[in-house]
């Protein structure tokens, strides 16, 4: 363990009881936090509240271990003012619904706040699929619209089909491949737009997706590593949540150029730890709420990535404390 001050690191997460120990990025970060001598305090979104002029949570201090079915032990339960934390990881999985947005507002409602990873305002502004639209030259042709005629015309004009996705989806959930002449197209567009009243997202299908969808993990604007998520033969999605197979991937010159282009924007908005999705040479998504893939990249590359991430967060927390 490195020589440093002991910190209190909070994790706003989904139920800890449901964690997949051998896959979950948040759990890997908890293990590394504990290994570096810090306290691990966790709570769910529903346990967050505001009272007596400050945001707080009904939190559990836990001890974690990489043993499925016996992966955590509660050391203490307490009412925790968020200002007592040095760092708060905001790792609640999508959907980015009203409750999620309200949670990002609640955690900010204090004169003394912890270091947020990632920044609540950035989570509101960047979640989940639309932030990358700022960089149209980096992405495949894309349409976001409520207009059924426009959406259908985009599908018909796409050379080898178009990928339809909800603007707030995650893990490949609801991602559909449409092709010219498909009789399901109109019905699916009606469903996704709620009869033309909500936005849906279409992107040209990239044939390189059969090779794999690359997840690049980015820390403070710098690439940490990557994993190629290869789709099953009977599916077009490479997401591991959808059954994609993780394969070791190298970072190409194009990958590094994408990271370099996004880095100043990520840093400026407090997006400390994100996941870029890249197919071929094209950026398809920027994942900011609870990017995954850390365990797979670390295992395939044989590097202690979670430890590097926590060390970076320690440095950021220290710099913040000195500046206050």
Instruction: Enter the CATH code of domain 210-287.
Output: 3.30.470.20
**How far apart are the two ends of the chain, measured CA to CA in Å?**
27
pTM of the model: 0.93
In this structure, CATH architecture of domain 8-123+307-323: 3-Layer(aba) Sandwich (3.40)
Tens of pLDDT, residues 85-127 = 999 999 999 888 899 999 999 999 988 899 999 999 999 999 7
| 101 close to 257: Cβ distance less than 8 angstroms | no
- List phi, psi (to 5°) of 19: -65, 140
Residue 1: predicted pLDDT: 39
Tokens standing for 197? 């009243």
Measured over all CA atoms, what is the biggest interatomic distance in the chain, rounded to whole angstroms? 63
Place of tokens 């100043």: 264
Q: Which residues contact 162 (CB under 8 A, 6 or more apart)?
A: 154, 155, 177, 178, 179, 202, 203, 204, 205
- The model's confidence at residue 321, banded by pLDDT at 50, 70 and 90, is confident
Q: What would the two tokens of residue 198 be?
A: 């909500």
Q: How far apart are CA 310 and CA 314, in angstroms?
A: 6
| Range with lowest mean pLDDT among 76-80, 173-177, 179-183, 256-260 | 173-177
Please state, in angstroms and rounded to a whole number, the distance separating the CA atoms of residues 103 and 271.
17
Q: How far is CA 137 from CA 11, 134, 222, 258, 283, in A?
A: 35, 9, 20, 11, 9
CA-closest candidate to residue 286, choices 92, 128, 104: 128
Homologous superfamily in CATH for domain 141-205: ATP-grasp fold, A domain (3.30.1490.20)
Spatial separation of the C-alpha atoms in residues 39 and 10, rounded to whole Å? 8
Overall average pLDDT of the 268-292 stretch:
96
Tokens of 270: 């407090």
- Cα(208)–Cα(197) distance, rounded to whole angstroms? 32
Q: Where are the domains of the chain?
A: 8-123+307-323, 141-205, 210-287
**Cis? peptide before 187, omega within 30° of 0:** no
Q: What is the pLDDT of residues 214-247, one digit of tens each?
A: 999 999 999 999 999 998 776 665 556 656 789 9
3-state secondary structure at position 129: coil
Is the predicted pLDDT of residue 170 greater than 90, yes or no? no
Q: Name which of 232, 192, 200 is nearest 213 in CA terms.
A: 232
Name the 3-class secondary structure at 85: coil
Dist. CA 182–CA 142, nearest whole Å: 19
The pLDDT confidence band at residue 128, using thresholds 50, 70 and 90, is confident
The angle formed by the CA atoms of residues 175, 178 and 180, to the nearest 5 degrees, is: 170
β pairing state of 8-12 and 39-43: parallel
Query: Of 134, 91, 75, 85, nearest to 110 (Cα)?
Result: 85
């Amino acid at each position: 363990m490195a020589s440093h001050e002991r910190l209190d690191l909070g994790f706003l997460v989904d139920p800890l009881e449901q964690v997949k120990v051998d896959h979950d990025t948040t759990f890997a970060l908890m293990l590394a936090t504990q290994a570096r001598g810090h306290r691990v305090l966790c709570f769910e979104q529903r346990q967050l509240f505001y009272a007596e002029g400050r945001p707080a949570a009904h939190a559990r201090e836990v001890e974690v271990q990489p043993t499925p079915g016996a992966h955590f032990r509660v050391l203490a339960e307490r009412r925790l003012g968020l200002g007592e934390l040095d760092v708060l990881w905001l790792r609640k999985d999508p959907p980015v619904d009203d409750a999620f947005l309200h949670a990002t507002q609640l955690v900010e409602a204090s004169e003394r706040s912890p270091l947020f990873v990632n920044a609540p305002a950035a989570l509101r502004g960047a979640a989940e699929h639309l932030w990358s639209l700022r960089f149209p030259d980096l992405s495949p042709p894309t349409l976001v619209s409520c207009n059924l005629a426009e959406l259908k015309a985009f599908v018909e004009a796409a050379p080898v089909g178009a990928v339809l996705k909800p603007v707030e989806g995650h893990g490949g959930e609801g991602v559909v491949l449409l092709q010219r002449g498909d009789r399901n197209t109109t019905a699916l567009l009606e469903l996704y737009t709620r009869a033309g009243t909500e936005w849906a997202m279409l992107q040209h299908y990239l044939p390189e997706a059969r090779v794999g969808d690359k997840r690049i993990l980015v820390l403070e604007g710098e690439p940490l590593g990557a994993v190629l998520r290869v789709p099953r033969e009977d599916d077009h999605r490479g997401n591991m949540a959808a059954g994609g197979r993780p394969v070791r991937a190298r970072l190409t010159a194009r990958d590094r150029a994408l990271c370099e282009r996004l880095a100043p924007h990520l840093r400026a908005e407090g997006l400390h730890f994100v996941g870029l999705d890249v197919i071929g040479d094209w950026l398809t998504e920027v994942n900011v709420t609870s990017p995954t893939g850390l365990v797979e990249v670390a295992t395939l590359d044989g590097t202690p990535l979670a430890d590097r991430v926590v060390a970076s967060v320690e440095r950021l927390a220290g710099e913040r404390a000195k500046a206050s």
